[in-house]
């Protein structure tokens, strides 16, 4: 069993943002912070891919996450978003940011570079099904076949219905 030990408070820099979510490995997250202000890093939420090839990078934000006030004004973006977009541009990948409702009822996606605007010309609030259809199109898949192959079903609000587990009697 791996024991996680939090670094002493004296190691924490006031200039380094502290872990907020607890979703990452806290030991590594805390460890990286004690390396100091001049060693910044950020995680990438999702690299969307197909057949082993990257198709897009999406920074997902829960509806309760802090909002970027003027998403259409690049100068107002946090540095982490600039870094992600630069990475995507060098890799020739679409970059998106997508806020989502806790219940999956809406997905507010915005393109962040020219490559993403080919798929989504401007910011758009969608149903879950519309968002998933876009993800499948970027992979070059037809959604009808994907729904059938993965036995996906949608409710009247276009939210994915979890599959019913088959049991053997």
* Tokens representing residue 45 in the block: 């939420």
Q: Is residue 168, in this structure, part of any structural domain at all?
A: no
Residues 137 and 57 in one domain: yes
Lowest mean pLDDT among 101-110, 129-138, 141-150: 141-150
Residues 30 and 63 in one domain: no
Q: Can you tell me which residue has the tokens 């977009």?
A: 85
Residues 56 and 84 in one domain: yes
Residue 131 and residue 104: Cα distance in Å, rounded?
A: 11
Q: Above 80 in pLDDT, residue 60?
A: yes
Chain centroid, CA 61 distance in Å: 7
Domain that holds residue 9: 1-41
Residues of the chain above pLDDT 70, percent: 77
Q: Is residue 167, in this structure, part of any structural domain at all?
A: no
Residue 74 and residue 98: Cα distance in Å, rounded?
A: 16
Q: How many CA atoms lie within 13 A of 31 on its CB side?
A: 7
Residues 81 and 23 in one domain: no
pLDDT given for residue 6 in this prediction: 38
Q: Is residue 166, in this structure, part of any structural domain at all?
A: no
Q: Is residue 140, in this structure, part of any structural domain at all?
A: yes
Q: Above 90 in pLDDT, residue 59?
A: yes
Query: Quick one: CA dihedral 66, 95, 111, 108, positive or negative?
Result: negative
pLDDT digits (tens, 9 = 90+) for 71-88: 776 777 888 899 999 999
Q: Is residue 122, in this structure, part of any structural domain at all?
A: yes
Residues 79 and 117 in one domain: yes
pLDDT digits (tens, 9 = 90+) for 136-164: 999 988 777 677 777 777 777 777 776 66
pLDDT given for residue 156 in this prediction: 75
Residues 27 and 109 in one domain: no
Q: Above 60 in pLDDT, residue 15?
A: no
* Tokens representing residue 80 in the block: 């982490």
Q: Which of 91, 101, 26, 19 is nearest to 60 (CA)?
A: 101
Kindly state the helix (H) or strand (E) to which residue 107 belongs, with its residue range. Answer: strand 107-111
Lowest mean pLDDT among 14-18, 117-121, 124-128, 160-164: 14-18
Phi-psi region of 73 (alpha: psi -120 to 50; beta: other; left: phi over 0): beta
Residues 89 and 103 in one domain: yes
Q: Is the pTM of this model over 0.85?
A: no
Q: Above 80 in pLDDT, residue 8?
A: no
3-state SS, residue 133: helix
pLDDT given for residue 117 in this prediction: 96
Residues 70 and 102 in one domain: yes
Q: How many domains does the chain have?
A: 2
pLDDT given for residue 166 in this prediction: 56
């Amino acid at each position: 069993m791996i024991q996680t030990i939090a670094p002493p408070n004296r190691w924490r820099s006031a200039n380094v943002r502290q872990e907020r979510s607890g979703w990452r490995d806290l030991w590594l997250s805390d460890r990286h912070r004690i390396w100091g202000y001049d060693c910044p890093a950020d995680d990438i939420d999702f690299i969307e891919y197909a057949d082993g090839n990257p198709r897009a990078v999406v920074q997902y934000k829960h509806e309760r996450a802090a909002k970027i006030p003027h998403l259409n004004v690049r100068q107002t973006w946090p540095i982490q978003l600039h870094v992600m977009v630069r990475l995507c541009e060098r890799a020739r990948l679409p970059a998106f940011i997508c806020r989502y409702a806790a219940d999956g009822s809406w997905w507010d996606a915005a393109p962040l570079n020219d490559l993403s605007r080919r798929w989504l010309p401007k910011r758009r609030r969608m149903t879950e099904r519309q968002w998933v259809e876009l993800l499948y199109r970027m992979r070059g898949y037809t959604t009808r076949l994907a729904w059938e192959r993965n036995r996906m079903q949608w409710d009247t609000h276009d939210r994915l219905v979890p599959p019913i587990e088959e049991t053997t009697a």
